[in-house]
Structure 1
Amino acid sequence: MTDAGAQLRELLERDELLVCPGVHDPLTAAVADAVGFDAIYMTGYGTSLSKTGYPDAGLITMPEMIDNAATIQERIDVPLIADSDNGYGNATNVVRTVREYIKAGVGAIHIEDQTFPKRCGHTKGRQVVPREEAVGKIRAAADVRDERGEEFVLIARTDARGTGDGSLDEAIGRVNDFLEAGADVAFVEGPTDEDELERIGREVDGWLVYNFVGDLGSSPYVELEALESYGFDLVLFPIASTLSTIANVHADLAAFAEDPVDAMRDIDDAFNDRPLGSLHEFSGFPEVVEWEERYLPEEDQEKYEGSLGDDLEGE
């Protein structure tokens, strides 16, 4: 693929809201890519839950997050926006964090101003570092972007609105400072109603993100047309695939516990009703066969003669 950051910047420069579903691994990313989106988001909560079995409470490490991001970006044909939590330390840690995400090839990351260990931006108990420290971390991230990947998109997030004594004034002040320090996009986490969204759009001078978490968090359900009218440029649906996975797997396995054979028929039918081809086609087996035909000795193709199973050729 072409440079993911450059692709993402072109999308942000369009005069329309960019909608990004959240995914938590290469499989859910492949599904999102098959549906067709201009950009995809890697959720930190879903990554933590899928890779460790634990929630977004600072329990996942930088290498685990970057490995997931790199593998997802490799699997899809559109830019990936990746969660990078709080940069995994102070400003010097942020230098390495941003370098590693740029090497991973993703289009963008967002860095927040929470303390360590951080937690989901829609749970109680969050704390933020002093504003000066947070600005220094964004300045460090911006310098790495300028040195290592100019098209890479840096999203700066504040969780100040959700702290015990947080205010919208403080949150808006922080993201404007982040933009001045070199961030490309501003991200105020946790606005509580549409009046706050309208004010953010009015008082923040830069590209804007809205984090659409639904019933999981404190921010409102809002129509996309309203977000556009307030001045937002990008909307993330971070836990879309994670909630869908949990809910649907639970429903299917509950049915499986009652009658495995009938449940398996229903699962097969549900998959076959989707425009994905067979599981082998969706997963990329035809491409593997193509690699074998192109690069392996001709006698290696003899393994297919007389063997049983899907022919793996695709449509």
Structure 2
Amino acid sequence: MSQAVEIGISGVPLLRPGDVVDVVAPSSGADPDIIKKCLDLLSSWGLTGRIHDETFGDDIFFSNTSNARAQCLLRAHTAPDSAAVWCLRGGSGATSLLPYLLTWAPPPQKLFIGFSDATFLHLFFNQKWGWTSLHASTLKHLTDFEDAPTLDALKHVLFTCPLPAPLSGITPLNAKARTASKITGALTGGNLSLLQSSIGTPWQIDTTDRLVFVEDVDEKPYRTLERLTHLQQAGLFKGCAGLIFFDFTYNTAVEEKHHTLYPEMLSTFGATLDCPVFKGTGVGHGPRNLPLWIGKDVHLERGTLTFL
């Protein structure tokens, strides 16, 4: 990879046409037609997608064995000729890579992109290795929805300016949020189910003085409430700068009551917390999934989240 002209977040170069992107599948697998669509998307952006031969193998649940997935991830992060590592899709299984990650010396930081099951990797990279990584759509998610604002925002962050445009429309849900003038802290968070899974592990989310965001998919409101209560009882909302509920998506044709139950549940739960609690949109498993930097300082003021 030749040196980029402009420097992105944490000294990691911005992407430019011709760069190689290592595509990894640390979680679930994918059919060949999905893989082709994802590689075609990268090609349309002037990038060269590369998938290692051992990315997929015989495993009843995941893209390959834990060891094979870990080695592909390490190979991608240490490859001298690639500019970024991008998750093919989410699913499940990334947490089983923890024993391997704990034995590695941190490689030089490289741009890492993903969300959903990659929440585990974001937290590990940030809290153990000190990296800043990009919480953004997997390649499959981009090709599934083809949401123009999401694609435009992500291309802007990757190729033009690493700081995302300010995210507005964030509304207060409790008294502390309504009286807060400006909240500043490093951003952390991700998929709520994964954040709950982190409790008691070496990669447990560190929320101290941080602005935490959560999102989830295909979960009933009472299940989401159980997970939030678990984080609350584990003390993970004590000492945090604030909490943002982003999108909780579900099948609207099947779960009609969620439309009213989710807002009521989030507001009721938010009122029980001592930290400022907000509601935002545009980040999660729906068509709109705007990019956010995990570990980057932000401030939240007058309903707008701005990266510093």
Q: More relative contact order in 1 or in 2 (CA 8 Å, sep 6+)?
A: 2
Please tell me whether Structure 1 or Structure 2 has the larger radius of gyration of its CA atoms. 1
Q: Same fold (TM over 0.5)?
A: no
> TM-score normalized by structure 2?
0.35
